């Protein structure tokens, strides 16, 4: 409950911060858009007036008055300049404009000279005006002759100091970093103000690229200037290539929440201390009970293992064989996958016991079990001792050919030990193997698979022992069909 309350408080803090950032972006964005639009109207008025023939025929002074009678004159706006085709100042909205000054090396003039089809508003990076000596953002439009040829540029500017005073009205300590980006990700203004960041391009940063794609919204990403993560709330300003964003650090968003969380945490710690003291005694009693249950479970597990394990060889016993074969048969039927079985019998084992004694016979059985375990070594293979000297191996997902290979390895391994067996067919301990595999034999059930393998085993024992015979390949055996 306390965690849910803390999470809800954290969510509320984030939500309030987001609402504040959205409001600031909208309000400040409208102010900037209105100022840019107002200034652009002055530029458009000059462009429209310049294209009129009657204006072109007027005297220079009258022409200046006609072209610049609607020029914006707010304190934050610079006066307008009219540059001819060579980039030389031909006229301006103020009579103090130094005519004849060459401005052909400016970014905006080079832009329109190189882009004859650009009739839109062009926003240049911040620069110091050689006319006024003030740092400003230049706004310009192309002038066109009646025949469509390049006639010059009309340019003006918004003073950086004006934008700085506008941005300073935002409480950046709590609102975050407010930044205005121009074309190509150039920082036009930033609050808190940092002169070194003005004019820097952040176009290659992941967060800026994401802002350009989204146009407006919010997301968390790496800082564009500085280090660490920021929550960006941003919007495109009007139709111009301007983007306004507010970036907040997590510490700013959750500062108040942290104070409340720490206070609530202290109360919870006190309660936890009392609870810990009350539960210590209960845990001690529960621990004793758990130890008793653990011992009981371990004893049950040992009994379960003993119930399905042959004590002499360590292989599965008859019960393990029956249960495993039934499970694997059902799995093979569901998945339509092969299931194979090997039945193994020690050759002339009664004679072995009569000759060498039962203790030596037990050693022989353990040797056979070790050979089976080495040959059938997949995790899914199950080896069992199902009778006195009889063994079985269940091989899921192996066909008849693979099963014969495993059986032959078992037969060769047992014979390779060369344990003396005077009563055996090879004078050493040997085994005979019967192999059956579904679907090579069309067995109705698991019992039919066992019967087929058993029939093959009897063929192997009846034709000389120490060999592997497969159901369906043995002379005199019947093929099981459904």
Secondary structure (H, E, C), the chain: CHHHHHHHHHHHHHHHHHHHHHHHHHHHHHHHHHHHHHHHHHHHHHHHHHCCHHHHCCCHHHHHHHHCCCCCCCCCECCCEEECCCCEEEEECCCCCCCCCECCCCHHHHHHHHCCCCCCCEECCCEECCCCCCEEEEEEEEEECCCCCEEEEEEEEEEHHHHHHHHHCCCHHHHCEEEEECHHHEEEEEECCCHHHCCCECCCCHHHHHHHHHCCEEEEEECCCCCCEEEEEEEECCCCCCEEEEEECHHHHCHHHHHHHHHHHHHHHHHHHHHHHHHHHHHHHHHHHHHHHHHHHHHHHHHHHHHCECCCCCCECHHHHHHHHHHHHHHHHHHCCCEEEEEEEECCHHHHHHHHCHHHHHHHHHHHHHHHHHHCCCCCCEEEECCCCEEEEEEECCCHHHHHHHHHHHHHHHHHCCCECCCCCCCECCEEEEEEEECCCCCCCHHHHHHHHHHHHHHHHHCCCCCEEECCCCCCCCCCCC
What value, to the nearest 5°, has the Cα angle with vertex 228 and ends 226 and 232? 85
Q: What is the DSSP letter of 428?
A: B
Please give the pLDDT value at position 289: 86
Under the banding of pLDDT at 50, 70 and 90, the label for residue 476 is very low
Number of residues in the chain: 482
- Nearest CA among 376, 347, 339 for reference residue 450: 339
Give the pLDDT score at 479: 36
Structure tokens at 124: 């240049």
Q: What Å distances lie between residue 268 and 5, 8, 274, CA to CA?
A: 12, 16, 10
pLDDT of residue 455: 94
**Predicted local confidence at residue 481, as pLDDT:** 30
pLDDT band for position 5 (cuts 50, 70, 90): low
Mean pLDDT of 281-297: 84
What's the pLDDT at 77? 78
The more confidently predicted of residues 72 and 437 is: 437
Q: Whole-model pTM? A: 0.50
Q: How many CB atoms lie within 10 A of CB 433?
A: 28
Residue 183 reports pLDDT greater than 50? yes
Query: Of all residues in the chain, what percent carry a pLDDT higher than 70?
Result: 87
User: Is the per-residue pLDDT at 10 higher than 70?
Assistant: no
Q: Which helix (H) or strand (E) holds 144?
A: strand 135-144
Q: Enter the tokens of residue 451.
A: 């019967």
Least confident of 20-29, 116-125, 413-422, 447-456: 20-29
**Of residues 369 and 279, which shows the higher confidence score?**
369
Tell me the per-residue pLDDT of 127-181, one tens digit each, with 9 for 90 and over. 887 777 778 888 899 998 888 888 899 988 888 888 888 887 766 455 678 888 9
Task: Give which of 319, 476, 481, 456 is closest to 387, Cα–Cα.
Answer: 319
* Cβ atoms of 452 and 445 closer than 8 Å: no
Please compute the mean of the pLDDT values over residues 100-127 and round it to a whole number: 88
Span 59-93, pLDDT tens digits: 666 666 667 765 556 667 777 888 899 999 888 87
Distance CA 82, CA 99 (A): 9
Average pLDDT, the chain: 84
Q: What is the pLDDT of residue 248?
A: 82
Strands (E), 169-228: 177-181, 187-191, 217-222
């Amino acid at each position: 409950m306390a965690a849910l309350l803390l999470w809800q408080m954290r969510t509320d803090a984030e939500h309030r911060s987001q609402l504040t950032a959205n409001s600031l972006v909208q309000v400040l964005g409208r102010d900037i858009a209105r100022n840019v639009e107002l200034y652009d109207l002055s530029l458009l008025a000059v462009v429209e007036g310049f294209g009129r023939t009657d204006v072109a025929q007027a005297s220079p002074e009258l022409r200046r008055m006609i072209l610049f009678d609607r020029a914006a004159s707010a304190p934050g706006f610079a006066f307008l300049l009219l540059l001819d085709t060579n980039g030389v100042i031909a006229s301006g909205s103020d009579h103090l404009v130094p005519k004849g000054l060459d401005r052909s090396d400016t970014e905006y003039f080079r832009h329109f000279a190189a882009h004859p089809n650009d009739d839109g508003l062009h926003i240049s990076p911040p620069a110091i005006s050689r006319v006024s000596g003030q740092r400003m953002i230049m706004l310009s439009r192309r002038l066109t002759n009646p025949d469509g040829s390049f006639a010059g540029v009309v340019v003006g500017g918004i003073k950086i100091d004006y934008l700085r005073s506008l941005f300073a009205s935002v409480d950046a300590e709590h609102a975050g970093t407010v930044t205005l980006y121009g074309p190509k990700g150039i920082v036009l203004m930033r609050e808190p103000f940092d002169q070194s960041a003005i004019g820097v391009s952040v176009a290659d940063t992941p967060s800026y690229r994401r802002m350009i794609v989204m146009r407006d919204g919010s997301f968390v990403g790496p800082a564009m200037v500085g280090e660490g993560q920021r929550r960006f709330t941003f919007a495109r300003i009007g139709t111009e290539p301007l983007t306004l964003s507010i970036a907040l650090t997590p510490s700013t968003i959750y500062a108040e929440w942290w104070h409340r969380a720490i206070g609530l945490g202290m109360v919870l710690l006190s309660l936890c201390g009392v609870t810990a003291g009350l539960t210590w005694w209960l845990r001690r009693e529960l621990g004793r009970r758990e130890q008793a249950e653990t011992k009981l479970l371990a004893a049950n597990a040992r009994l379960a293992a003993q119930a399905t394990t042959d004590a002499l060889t360590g292989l599965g016993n008859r019960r393990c064989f029956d249960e495993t074969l039934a499970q694997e048969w059902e799995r093979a039927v569901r998945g339509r996958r092969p299931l194979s079985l090997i039945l193994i019998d020690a050759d002339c084992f009664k004679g072995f016991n009569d000759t060498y004694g039962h203790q030596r016979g037990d050693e022989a059985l353990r040797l056979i079990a070790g050979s089976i375990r080495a040959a059938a070594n997949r995790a899914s293979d199950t080896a069992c001792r199902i009778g006195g000297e009889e063994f079985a191996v269940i091989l899921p997902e192996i066909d008849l050919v693979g099963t014969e290979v495993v059986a032959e390895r078992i037969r060769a391994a047992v014979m390779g030990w060369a344990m003396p067996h005077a009563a055996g067919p090879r004078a050493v301990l040997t085994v005979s193997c019967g192999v059956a595999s579904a679907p090579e034999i069309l067995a109705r059930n698991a019992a039919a698979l066992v019967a087929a393998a058993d029939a093959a085993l009897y063929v192997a024992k009846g034709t000389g022992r120490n060999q592997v015979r497969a159901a369906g390949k043995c002379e005199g055996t019947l093929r099981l069909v459904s």
